[in-house]
């Protein structure tokens, strides 16, 4: 079992280019797993990508296109792009001021439980937010991290959507740090009507150091997954 995770910060990168890169890493790990059947000494890789995307809306494979409230022209006018992709979940937004994390892991190096995987990703964000005095939690039946659960002011601060095949993961989470929340007005986020979206900036009333947040996420991820980040 290899618990080393290669950490890369891609900076600001186009969504499609990043998706293609994820697919390449994903395919490499799957090929390693196939080769491992013949040679058990082969070690499979793990990766964790941080990235910030230009304005983009993405729709999961089971998502409803009607949750995008913009025409193609309106998308262009806003400088945004749109992709239908192969993760779970419905529609979400990515853009500047948002920390996006893509763990591309061979879960057989850690545990073979997708439910546990999602819960630990959520926990890494919950623990990170707690360091800023923000009490966040899970919302029953709704993947991601929320504030004000069970109140009329429930609001999502971190969206999640993953794909897993042969116990290899891709896609991941999007934490709103200093993001422009106005872009969420153009969708029904995650297909959930009547619930708001928030950010660390909106909750704390100040701009938050995104590099510091990333460091905290990495620390909690490493602890929870008993991983060595390299």
Positions marked active-site: 190
Cα 37 versus chain centre, distance: 31
Instruction: Find out whether 101 is annotated in a ligand binding site.
Output: no
Would you state the structure tokens that stand for residue 177, as one six-digit string?
């740090």
Instruction: Find out whether 91 is annotated in a ligand binding site.
Output: yes
Alpha-carbon Rg for the chain in angstroms: 17
Instruction: Find out whether 174 is annotated in a ligand binding site.
Output: yes
Would you state the structure tokens that stand for residue 52, as one six-digit string?
């910030």
Q: Is 135 helix (H, G, I), strand (E, B) or coil?
A: coil
Closest Cα partner for 204 from 124, 136, 107? Answer: 136
Instruction: Find out whether 217 is annotated in a ligand binding site.
Output: no
Would you state the structure tokens that stand for residue 104, as one six-digit string?
């591309």
Instruction: Find out whether 163 is annotated in a ligand binding site.
Output: no
Instruction: Find out whether 125 is annotated in a ligand binding site.
Output: no
Instruction: Find out whether 42 is annotated in a ligand binding site.
Output: no
Q: How many CB atoms lie within 10 A of CB 230?
A: 9
Q: Which residues are annotated as a binding site?
A: 87-94, 159-161, 172-174
Q: Which residues are annotated as a binding site for substrate?
A: 87-94, 159-161, 172-174
């Amino acid at each position: 079992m290899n618990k080393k995770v290669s950490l890369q910060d891609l900076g600001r990168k186009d969504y499609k280019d990043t998706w293609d890169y994820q697919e390449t890493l994903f395919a490499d790990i799957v090929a390693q797993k196939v080769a491992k059947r013949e040679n058990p000494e082969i070690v499979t890789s793990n990766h964790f990508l941080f990235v910030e995307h230009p304005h983009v809306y993405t729709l999961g494979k089971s998502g409803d296109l009607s949750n995008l409230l913009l025409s193609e022209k309106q998308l262009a006018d806003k400088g945004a792009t749109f992709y239908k992709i192969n993760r779970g979940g419905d529609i979400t937004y990515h853009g500047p001021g948002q920390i996006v994390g893509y763990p591309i892991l061979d879960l057989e190096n850690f545990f073979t439980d997708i439910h546990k995987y999602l819960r630990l990703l959520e926990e890494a964000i919950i623990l990170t937010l707690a360091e800023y005095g923000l009490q966040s939690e899970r919302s029953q039946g709704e993947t991601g991290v929320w504030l004000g659960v069970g109140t009329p002011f429930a609001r999502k601060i971190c969206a999640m959507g993953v794909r897993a095949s042969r116990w290899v993961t891709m896609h991941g989470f999007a934490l709103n740090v200093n993001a422009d929340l106005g872009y969420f007005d153009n969708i029904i986020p995650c297909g959930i009507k009547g619930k708001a979206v928030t950010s660390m900036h909106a909750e704390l009333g100040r701009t938050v150091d995104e590099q510091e947040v990333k460091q905290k996420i990495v620390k909690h991820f490493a602890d929870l997954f008993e991983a060595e980040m390299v």
